């Protein structure tokens, strides 16, 4: 037994010595110099010695500024790779940057708004990469995370721009219902610059025409149209207006502008409209040109498949790593007492094993325990995968699903459980709504709720919009909350409104639906009948 412990001590000394040797080439003066380096000054100190810089971050990890600095260098290196059409290398470096800034934020006692903004920019850049290959799910998820960080940094302009990006992403993937959610969220922001507000309105107009809501689109177009500003979004709105009015002669110049000045996805979308426009104006040569463009674009997309698969694999790997870290942290917070009890029991059991059985049986018990631990690990990993799969099914509607199954799926969704648990055991009075501001849902939560609601009851929601003119996409989030049997005070808290504002919206929706019945009951009956 003594020889065994001597061997353990000797091995530990060897490991310590190796660690010392590996870090011995990292001088404190060099690491201090890193902190004074500015990437914008084109200093080559980090660029040529990134691995050594990483060692500084590891060796002096208590100096959080090292983590922050290394994150910044990975970020700017990634931008250079992205600009040079090296998307895989850029993606890896963006994720490296994300890892270091996450470690910095996790360890910092006080996180500054800039740190959230910087992380938001990483998420946005990653989202752009996946948008470029038209990988909807990763791009949307990354944009949502960027939005959350921009809101944490109180950077309204960046939050609005990311909402516009996300909306356009869904718009060009022929999902105007979801696109409209993002555009309306952008419109509800405070202190929107006039030029940005114009972009929001132009995109709303385009989306409304694609939703076949011509009356509303025409109304907004008439009220907000400004001929003086002729940018891309202007041409998109007016070109789409004329296209759906079948005034192809007037539509073509504006559609051509968008085709010539758009990105790859935008070119493809407008080439479809142009091909149809030229067909209807008997210009078959031009029609053929845009049909051939679509064919070439589709072929190019097929050739990108290996790249797309590689990038999506990178997303899955890094997303799982981040989710696992978050799950561990959350479980530690929620189950700390349980963990202490379990650890205590394990320690007591281990002591009993050590002192009450022979060396041979002790080894057998250890091997058996290890197998049990590995088995439990597999079970936990399996459950995590199940939970992750459930959380991702926000939009997909299962075939042959009846109302009861859809209703259960909605109630059992992560966002519904989150809302219900936050209000559990709390009685909110109209006069103290403002005392519960900490319960307000984030924009990401509202997006998740709306997506889940749309995904579970798409036919019923379309029926509401078609049967009751005046119901907006903004009203849908209220309808989703009333469908959960919540009252005006609870909804006011969840949406950060006064009781009066929530009650006013409730009365508005009732008037449009032409009912004096309890909204929750009315919606349950209506959605069930129109499922």
Q: For 146-186, how does the pLDDT look when each residue is reduced to its tens digit (9 = 90+)? A: 999 998 888 989 999 999 999 999 988 888 889 999 998 99
Tokens, residue 482: 């009333």
Cα–Cα distance between 506 and 520 in angstroms, integer? 11
What number of CA atoms fall less than 13 Å from residue 122's CA on the CB side? 27
Proportion of the chain above pLDDT 90, given as a percent: 14
Closest CA to 482 of 437, 513, 443, 442: 513
User: CA-based angle 56:59:64, to the nearest 5?
Assistant: 75
Contact 450, 475 (CB under 8 A): no
What's the CA gap between 411 and 309, in Å, rounded?
Answer: 34
d(CA 476, CA 125): 30
Handedness of CA 209, 211, 215, 216 (dihedral sign): negative
pLDDT of residue 426: 83
Instruction: Give the angle subtended at the CA of 159 by the CAs of 420 and 127, to the nearest 5°.
Output: 90
pLDDT tens figures, 366-425 = 455 455 545 545 544 554 454 455 444 444 444 467 888 888 888 899 899 988 888 888
End-to-end CA distance of the chain: 72
Nearest to 444 by CA among 162, 102, 204: 162
Q: Which of 65-74, 366-375, 434-443 has the least mean pLDDT?
A: 366-375
d(CA 409, CA 389): 13
CATH of 215-315, one of 1.20.950, 1.25.40, 1.10.10, 1.10.287: 1.25.40
Sign of CA dihedral 356, 358, 361, 366: positive
Query: Cα–Cα distance between 79 and 65 in angstroms, integer?
Result: 21
Residue 429: half-sphere exposure toward Cβ, Cα within 13 Å: 2
Predicted confidence (pLDDT) at residue 280 exceeds the cutoff of 70: yes
Whole-number CA gyration radius for the chain: 28
Number of Cβ within 10 Å of residue 114's Cβ equals 11
Percent of the chain at pLDDT above 70? 72
User: How many beta carbons lie within 10 A of that of residue 258, not counting itself?
Assistant: 24
Per-residue pLDDT band at 8 (split at 50, 70, 90): very low
More confident call, 234 vs 347:
234
Is 278:290 a contact under the CB 8 Å cutoff? yes
- Picking from 25-29, 220-224, 309-313, 506-510, which range would have the lowest pLDDT averaged per residue? 25-29
For the chain, the structural domain boundaries read 215-315, 403-529
Tokens of 473: 């996409």
CA-CA-CA-CA torsion sign (208, 213, 216, 217): positive
According to DSSP, residue 393 is labeled -
Judge whether 217 and 209 are in contact, CB under 8 Å.
yes
């Amino acid at each position: 037994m003594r020889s065994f412990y001597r061997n353990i001590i000797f091995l530990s000394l060897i490991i310590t010595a190796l660690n010392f040797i590996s870090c011995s080439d990292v001088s404190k003066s060099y690491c201090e110099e890193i902190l004074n380096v500015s990437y914008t000054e084109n200093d080559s100190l980090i660029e040529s010695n990134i691995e050594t810089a990483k060692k500084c971050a590891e060796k002096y990890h208590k100096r959080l500024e090292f983590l922050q600095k290394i994150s910044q260098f990975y970020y700017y290196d990634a931008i250079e790779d992205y600009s040079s059409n090296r998307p895989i290398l850029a993606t890896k470096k963006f994720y490296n940057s994300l890892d270091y800034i996450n470690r910095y934020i996790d360890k910092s006692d006080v996180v500054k708004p800039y740190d959230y903004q910087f992380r938001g920019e990483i998420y946005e850049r990653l989202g752009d990469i996946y948008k470029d290959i038209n990988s909807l799910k990763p791009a949307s998820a990354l944009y949502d995370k960027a939005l959350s960080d921009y809101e944490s940094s109180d950077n309204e302009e960046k939050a609005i721009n990311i909402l516009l990006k996300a909306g356009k992403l869904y718009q060009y993937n022929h999902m105007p219902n979801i696109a409209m959610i993002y555009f309306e969220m952008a419109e509800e922001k405070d202190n929107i610059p006039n030029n940005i507000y114009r972009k929001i309105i132009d995109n709303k107009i385009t989306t409304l025409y694609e939703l076949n809501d011509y009356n509303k689109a025409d109304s907004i177009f008439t009220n907000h149209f400004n001929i003086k500003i002729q940018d891309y979004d202007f041409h998109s709105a007016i070109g789409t207006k004329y296209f759906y009015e079948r005034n192809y002669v007037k539509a073509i110049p504006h559609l051509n502008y968008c085709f010539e000045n758009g990105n790859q996805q935008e070119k493809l979308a407008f080439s479809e409209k142009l091909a149809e426009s030229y067909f209807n104006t008997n210009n078959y040569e031009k029609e053929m040109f845009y049909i051939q463009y679509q064919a070439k674009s589709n072929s190019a997309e097929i050739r990108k498949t290996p790249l797309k698969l590689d990038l999506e694999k990178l997303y899955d790997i890094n997303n799982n790593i981040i989710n696992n870290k978050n799950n561990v942290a959350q479980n530690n917070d929620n189950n700390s007492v349980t963990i202490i009890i379990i650890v205590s029991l394990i320690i007591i059991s281990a002591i009993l094993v050590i002192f009450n059985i022979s060396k041979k049986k002790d080894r057998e018990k250890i091997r058996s325990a290890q197998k049990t631990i590995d088995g439990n690990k597999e079970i936990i990993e399996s459950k995590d995968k199940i939970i992750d799969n459930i959380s991702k099914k926000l939009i997909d509607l299962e075939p042959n699903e009846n109302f009861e199954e859809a209703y259960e799926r909605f109630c059992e969704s992560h966002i519904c459980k989150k809302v219900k648990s936050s209000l559990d055991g709390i009685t909110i009075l109209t006069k103290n709504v403002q005392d519960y501001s900490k319960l307000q849902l984030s924009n990401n939560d509202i997006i998740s709720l709306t997506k889940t609601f749309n995904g579970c009851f798409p036919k019923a929601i379309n029926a509401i919009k078609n049967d009751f003119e005046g119901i907006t996409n903004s009203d849908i989030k209220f309808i989703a909350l009333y469908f959960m049997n919540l009252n005006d005070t609870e909804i006011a808290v969840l949406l950060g409104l006064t009781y009066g504002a929530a009650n006013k919206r409730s009365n508005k929706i009732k008037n449009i639906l032409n009912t004096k019945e309890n909204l929750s009951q009315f919606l349950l009956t209506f959605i069930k009948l129109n499922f």
